[in-house]
Amino acid sequence: MPSEDSSTKNSRLDQIVADARRSQGRRQVTYRDRALKLYPHICARCGGEYAGKDLQNLTVHHKDHDHDNNPLDGSNWELLCGYCHDKEHGRYAEQHPDDHIPLETRSSEPLNRPFAALEALLKGKK
């Protein structure tokens, strides 16, 4: 295997850094990132405060339970700790039993296909 010259190595490194910066930019525009910028890092139910590594324990709860309803002002969100978030969804399931479709009537087609375009992306890397 031939060794790479320094300009090729620098070019690859520059590409890696550019890709990492683009990825960071995309992550920053997610509704979770926006919610964490808008609201104090406190659970809206129990009042627990989160910082540093513990921040991962805060989740974004959609008040209307519609994950596609993400207004830029954050009016449909509240930050909840994992425990309070689970409790809220349990309470919602009890109040809205018709929202849960019985297993036997569900489609066998998955709702989310996260790797659907993976093959095309990998072919583009060659």
Q: Is the pTM of this model over 0.85?
A: no
CB 80 within 8 A of CB 44: yes
**How far, CA to CA in Å, does 117 sit from each of 58, 109, 126?**
30, 16, 15
Going from the first residue of the chain to its last (126 residues), give the mean pLDDT of each consecutive group of 10, the final group possibly shorter. 67 86 66 91 94 92 86 92 89 63 52 74 74
Rounded CA gap, 38 and 75, in Å? Answer: 10
